[in-house]
Amino acid sequence: MTPDDRLAAFLGEVPQPATSNIFVAEVMEAVEQRILRDRLLAGGAAALAASAVLWACSPILNLAVSALAPALIPVGGILALVLASAMLGNRLLVRD
């Protein structure tokens, strides 16, 4: 081995393979943490934007709800009745 070869061998040394799997796993764990953090930040930002939009539209929404509510009361009553009958019927079927 020439001195140049010895020098290149020394400078080109890499970590042992045994440590590589641990290192790759650590990197991928850090990547997943970063992805989760980014998703949480994006979700938080979206929720914030949606709440700002709803807050800005709240006067119109209030008007719409108060106008529609009287008309929706009978529909809501019927739906509640249907739901209650379905649940009761289901229980009876299960007992049989």
For another protein, the binding residues (CB under 8 A) are: 3-4, 6-17, 19-20, 23-24, 26-28, 30-32, 34, 38
For another protein, which is the closer residue by CB, 24 or 82?
24
Task: Write down the least CB distance from residue 28 to another protein, Å.
Answer: 5
Nearest distance from C-beta of residue 44 to another protein, angstroms: 18
Query: Shortest gap between Cβ of 7 and another protein (angstroms)?
Result: 5
Nearer to another protein, 23 or 55 (CB): 23
Closer by beta carbon to another protein, 29 or else 89: 29
CA distance 1 to 33: 47
Cβ 32 to another protein, closest distance in Å?
Answer: 7
In one-letter notation, the amino acid at residue 4 is: D
3-state SS, the chain, equals CCHHHHHHHHHCCCCCHHHHHHHHHHHHHHHHHHHHHHHHHHHHHHHHHHHHHHHHHHHHHHHHHHHHHHHHHHHHHHHHHHHHHHHHHHHHHHHC
